[in-house]
Amino acid sequence: MSSNTKKVFNVDGMTCQSCVKNIERNVGKMDGVKTVVVSLNDKKASVEFDSDKTTEQAVIEKITSLGFQAK
């Protein structure tokens, strides 16, 4: 049975809609990620994922690898 987890991450370093799309596209490709909604104005990324397939830390590392700071 999968266990869905929804987390909101604070994301610093986004400057435009292209940054938003970059994060949504790349985090969305991660195994177990169901939905990704990024808000440039709020500087937040809301990610719903299957915690059996990925972790909160893995999402943070993916966002960081794209050149942003996430926590």
CATH number of the domain residue 45 falls in = 3.30.70.100
| pLDDT number for residue 63 | 98
Q: Does the structure show a pLDDT above 80 at 42?
A: yes
Burial bucket for residue 44 (CB in 10 Å: 0-12, 13-18, 19+): middle
Tell me what the mean pLDDT of segment 42-46 comes to. 98
Domain that holds residue 43: 4-70
Tell me what the mean pLDDT of segment 5-26 comes to. 98
- In this prediction the pTM is 0.94
Number of domains in the chain: 1
Closest Cα partner for 7 from 71, 63, 52, 68?
71
Task: Give the ranges where the chain is alpha helix by DSSP (H).
Answer: 17-28, 56-65
Summary mean pLDDT of the chain: 96
Count of all residues that appear for the chain in the document: 71
